[in-house]
Amino acid sequence: MLMASATGLAGAALIAAPPAPAISVVPQPVEVIGVRGDAFRLDSDARIMIDGDPREAGPVARQLADLLRPSSGFELPIVRGAAEPGDIALVLAADEAPDGHAAEGYRLRADESGVRIGAATAAGLSNGMQSLRQLLPAAVEDGHLLSYPLEVVAVEINDYPRFAYRSVMLDVARHFFSVLEVERFIDEIAMLKINTLHLHLANDQGWRIEIEGWPLLTEVGGLFEVDGNPGGFYTQQEFAGIVDYAAERNVMIVPEANMPGHTHAALTAYPELTCDGVAPGPHTLMAGGGSSLCPTSGEAERLAEDVIRQLAALAPGPYLHLGGDEVSGYTDDEYTYFMELTSSIAADEGKTAIGWQELGASDELPIGTIGQYWGYTEPNEQGIELMQSFLNQGGAIVLSPPDVAYLDQVYPDDDSLGLEWAGSNGVADAYDWDPASIFEGVGDDQVLGIEGPLWTETIDTIEDVEFMAFPRLGALAEIGWSPAPGGAHRDFDEFAPRLVTFLERFEQLGVNFHRSSDLPW
Ligand code: TNX
């Protein structure tokens, strides 16, 4: 009797974990090495150890604890000091990252003696934590106590990104998204090691960021969105909150208040920004308003200066996006004058300007200005010339070809949401391109990175944002992060099941996504 019940108890405590999943991480790490030895098993006395500056490592430790405590039921204290067997260690020191990849690289090792993530920066630790997360069963994500122990297969991962700028753009102007919705999206993109969220804060349909000295921009210009529904805006304090939330997750916010075109909302708020002094009234159609700040009004320059300086103060990173696309009613000289003005103010604020490709029309940009390409993967003469202009001026480029990277275009197998001027864009399309093969002679060194823009003319809810972003953004994340030896075509058949495995996590988290017929469900 005694024997039987003892066995029973032991059995209950040691219910076998489900078979360790094959290592399946998106984006694919640079190096994954199988390690001899047993899996790591999280025990009740495990701790999350911080070895290094706790202000840097603290947020990563807390995110890991938030993930593991509910599913394991363990206390998992976060403690400073050296790890003991069974602990998860976050080690922050200059020599911890893979050589030459201090900015975001990390090393992860798991075996029966513990888990150790080493990095030179908080960004590297964050990346390592996101990989560790994907080595755990998807069930950890839903916050319920699991009936089996958490295990991590014995493995060593050395990893770092191919491109420094791995971005998604959210257009909060056409449709507004609340602080909480934006933060939810940040949590999701961070899981894919997307490290930049470009917020498109002003367009014809709405002005979404408070600018001191110009209260009507938001009070009037923020009122509506597409279809005339109520819009909204962020106070500077709310915006700073988004910036901090993102930073803890290794996501940099790059703000853009698009000028001088696409400015209907600003013109409605301040008619003195128009040439005829007449407020045009709200623009709530999907299509662009063909609007621009009056090139000969001194008020436009005063607005531009206030906006750029205040956004520079709010922007955490080295970049500020100036917009500058699709400007009507300007002569070439007026356009370059305006953009040289805004880019020089950005430079004066210590920021590197990024502009949509049209900005390349100027040959007097501050050194290092970044151009964002939004032409097709097969560029035309004009696209080539514009992008070459940025390179000639010491800058680099960010690639957003609409045929593979625009997250607002319809899926080939579902056109319920999205525009289709660039055709459709499926998961396989988003995976089938290489940033170093678009422009002849322009290789990795001149490509700062990639971005998937999510324009929101047809996108009204955060669930719809998720539907359009995922799973395509998983493909873009891998294009931006993972090496492509010799620029060779990537193997979609190898990628697709990994992406499906990743999406099990989103299912647990209740994140919406499109069940693309490109994927082997
Ligand atoms: C073009 S891409 C635009 C946006 C639209 C988008 C819709 C770019 C710089 N401008 O204003 O929202 O197409 O796909």
Share of the chain above pLDDT 90, in %: 93
Task: With a cut of 80, say whether residue 18 has pLDDT above it.
Answer: no
Q: How far apart are CA 54 and CA 58, in angstroms?
A: 5
Q: How far apart are the first and last CA of the chain?
A: 48
Collapse the DSSP code of 402 into the 3-class scheme (helix H, G, I; strand E, B; otherwise coil) and give the result: helix
Q: List, for residues 381-397, the tens digit of each pLDDT value.
A: 999 999 999 999 999 99
**Which of 199, 259, 357, 455 has most ligand 1 atoms within 8 Å of its beta carbon, as the pocket-test mutant?**
455
Q: List, for residues 39-79, the tens digit of each pLDDT value.
A: 999 999 999 999 999 999 999 999 999 999 999 999 999 99
**Ligand 1 atom nearest residue 422's Cα:** 14
CB 408 less than 6 A from any atom of ligand 1:
yes
Task: With a cut of 80, say whether residue 1 has pLDDT above it.
Answer: no
Share of the chain above pLDDT 70, in %: 95
Asked if 183 is an active-site residue, the reply is: no
* pLDDT confidence tier of residue 10, bands split at 50, 70 and 90: very low
For CATH 3.30.379.10, the residue range(s) in the chain are 18-159
Instruction: Please report the pLDDT score of residue 489 as a whole number.
Output: 74
Q: Which of 498, 495, 499, 493 is closest to 514 using CA atoms?
A: 499
Distance of CA 454 to the CA centre of its chain: 11
Q: List, for residues 299-315, the tens digit of each pLDDT value.
A: 999 999 999 999 999 99
Task: With a cut of 50, say whether residue 8 has pLDDT above it.
Answer: no
CB 356 less than 6 A from any atom of ligand 1:
yes
Nearest CA to ligand 1 atom 13: 455
Q: List, for residues 404-421, the tens digit of each pLDDT value.
A: 999 999 999 999 999 999
The CA-based dihedral angle spanning residues 327, 331, 332, 334, taken in that order and rounded to the nearest 10 degrees:
-90
**Ligand 1 atom nearest residue 203's Cα:** 11
Enclosing H/E stretch for 224: none
CB 455 less than 6 A from any atom of ligand 1:
yes
**Ligand 1 atom nearest residue 421's Cα:** 14
Instruction: Please report the pLDDT score of residue 5 as a whole number.
Output: 36
CB 419 less than 6 A from any atom of ligand 1:
yes
Q: Report the DSSP beta bridge partners of residue 450.
A: 166, 399
Q: List, for residues 326-338, the tens digit of each pLDDT value.
A: 999 999 999 999 9
Task: With a cut of 50, say whether residue 11 has pLDDT above it.
Answer: no
* pLDDT confidence tier of residue 12, bands split at 50, 70 and 90: very low
For CATH 3.20.20.80, the residue range(s) in the chain are 165-509
Lowest mean pLDDT among 74-78, 426-430, 483-487: 483-487
Nearest CA to ligand 1 atom 10: 325
Q: What is the mean pLDDT of residues 200-213?
A: 98
Task: With a cut of 90, say whether residue 466 has pLDDT above it.
Answer: yes
CA distances from 219 to 101, 301, 360 (A): 45, 21, 34
Q: What is the DSSP letter of 410?
A: P
CB 325 less than 6 A from any atom of ligand 1:
yes
Q: What is the mean pLDDT of residues 339-356?
A: 98
Angle at CA 433, nearest 5°, toward 324 and 356?
Answer: 5
Q: List, for residues 227-259, the tens digit of each pLDDT value.
A: 999 999 999 999 999 999 999 999 999 999 999
* pLDDT confidence tier of residue 160, bands split at 50, 70 and 90: very high
SS3 letters for 379-413? CCHHHHHHHHHHHHCCCCEEECCHHHHCCCECECC
Query: Tell me: domain 18-159, CATH 3.30.379.10, correct?
Result: yes
Q: Half-sphere exposure of residue 167, counting CA atoms within 13 Å on the CB side?
A: 28
CB 403 less than 6 A from any atom of ligand 1:
no
**Which of 174, 326, 406 has most ligand 1 atoms within 8 Å of its beta carbon, as the pocket-test mutant?**
326
* pLDDT confidence tier of residue 288, bands split at 50, 70 and 90: confident
In the predicted model, what is the mean pLDDT of the chain?
A: 95
**Ligand 1 atom nearest residue 374's Cα:** 2
Instruction: Please report the pLDDT score of residue 21 as a whole number.
Output: 53
**Architecture of the domain defined by 165-509:** Alpha-Beta Barrel (3.20)
Catalytic residue (one of 31, 75, 326, 364)? 326
CB 104 less than 6 A from any atom of ligand 1:
no
Q: What is the mean pLDDT of residues 331-349?
A: 97
d(CA 247, ligand 1 centre) in Å? 27
Backbone φ and ψ for 31, nearest 5 degrees, come out as -140, 125
**Ligand 1 atom nearest residue 325's Cα:** 9
d(CA 455, ligand 1 centre) in Å? 7
Task: With a cut of 90, say whether residue 486 has pLDDT above it.
Answer: no
**Do the Cβ atoms of 502 and 26 come closer than 8 Å?**
yes
